[in-house]
Amino acid sequence: MDATETKFKSKTFDTVLISLVLHEIPEELAEKILLEAKRVLKPKGRLLVIEWEEPQNLLKRILFYLIRKLEPKGFEQFLKIDTKGYFEKYGLQILEIKHCDYTKVINLKKVTLE
Amino acid at 100: C
Spell 79-108 as b/e; 16+ CB within 10 A means b.
Answer: eeeeeeebbeebebeeeeeeeeeebebbeb
**Calpha distance 3→49 (Å, rounded):** 14
CB atoms within 10 A of CB 73: 6
Does the pLDDT of residue 114 top 60, yes or no? no
Instruction: State the pLDDT confidence band at 43, using cuts at 50, 70 and 90.
Output: very high
- Phi, psi of 73, rounded to the nearest 5 degrees: -50, -45
**pLDDT cut 90: percent of the chain above it:** 88
pLDDT digits (tens, 9 = 90+) for 44-58: 999 999 999 999 999
The domains of the chain, with CATH numbers, are 13-110 (3.40.50.150)
Strand stretches in the chain, DSSP E: 13-19, 41-52, 92-99, 103-110
